[in-house]
Amino acid sequence: MRVISGSAKGRTLKAVPGMGTRPTTDKVKEAVFSMIGPYFDGGLVLDLFGGTGGLSIEALSRGMDRAVLTDMDKKAIDTIRLNLQATGFESRAEIYRTDAQRALKALAKRDLKFDLVFLDPPYKLKVIQKLLEELTDEALLNGGARVVVEHDTDDRYDEPIGDLEPVRRAEYGATAITVFRMAGQPDKEMTI
C-alpha cells in the first residue's frame, strides 16, 4: 500500500498486523478518488473505520486540511499513528479508539461538520444504513459533503438514506463503492 497522489505521493503505508482488517487496495483507492474528485481545496475528513488510515491519508495528501480517524482495534490505531508519522500528517489528524456510533455522538457535541466521510466497516456488521442516518440526524455534514461507502457487492444502497442520496456506484471484484451526497444541496467543488 502506498499514497497514490498529492504531497505524500509514493510514501509506503504499513498494513495492520493480523487478519482482522481488510485494507482498501490501491486500485480501489484510486477509483474512489477518481469518483469524488482527485484533489481538494481544504475541508475536514472523517474515517469511521480507519484501519490503516490509508483513505484519510490519501485525502490529506490531496488537499484536505484535517482528518478525524476512529477504529476499535488497538493494532489499527497503532498502525494509523505510524502511517501518519511516515507521511508527516500527524499534526493534521485526530485519532480515537472507539466505535463508530459513539464517535458520531462525540463529534456532534463538538459541532464538527465534515466535507468528506469514509465508511468502510467490516462487511459482516451491516451498520451502514444506521450510520448514514446518524450522520444526517446529528448534522455532521456540510452542504455538498460526500460520503464514500465501501461494502460487499451483494449490498445495494440505491435509495436515499436520511438526507443522503446515492450518486455513484462502482464494483471492483467483491467490493462495491457507493458515493452519497447531501440531498438538495449544491455540489461542493472538490477539485482544484
Q: Which tens digits make up the pLDDT trace of 87-108? A: 999 999 999 999 999 999 999 9
CA-angle at 157, arms to 155 and 160, nearest 5°: 160
Mean pLDDT of 152-157: 93
Check residues 123 and 190 and name the one with the higher pLDDT.
123
Which set of grid coordinates corresponds to residue 134? 446518524
Which set of grid coordinates corresponds to residue 63? 488537499
Considering only CA atoms, give the Rg of the chain: 15
Whole-angstrom Cα distance, residue 24 to residue 166? Answer: 21
Which set of grid coordinates corresponds to residue 6? 498529492
Question: Around Cβ 159, how many Cβ atoms within 10 Å?
Answer: 8
CB 179 within 8 A of CB 36: yes
Q: How long is the chain?
A: 192
Whether pLDDT at 138 is above 50: yes
Whether pLDDT at 1 is above 60: yes
Whether pLDDT at 161 is above 70: yes
CATH topology for the 26-182 domain: Rossmann fold (3.40.50)
Whether pLDDT at 19 is above 70: no
Mean pLDDT of 66-78: 97
Q: Give the C-alpha distances (Å, rounded to integers) separating 151 from 28, 122, 124, 178, 182.
A: 12, 8, 10, 8, 20
Whole-angstrom Cα distance, residue 55 to residue 159? Answer: 25
Side chain identity, residue 51 = G
Whole-angstrom Cα distance, residue 100 to residue 131? Answer: 8
Question: Around Cβ 108, how many Cβ atoms within 10 Å?
Answer: 16
Write the CB contacts of 137 (distance below 8 Å, at least 6 apart in sequence): 162
Q: Where are the domains of the chain?
A: 26-182
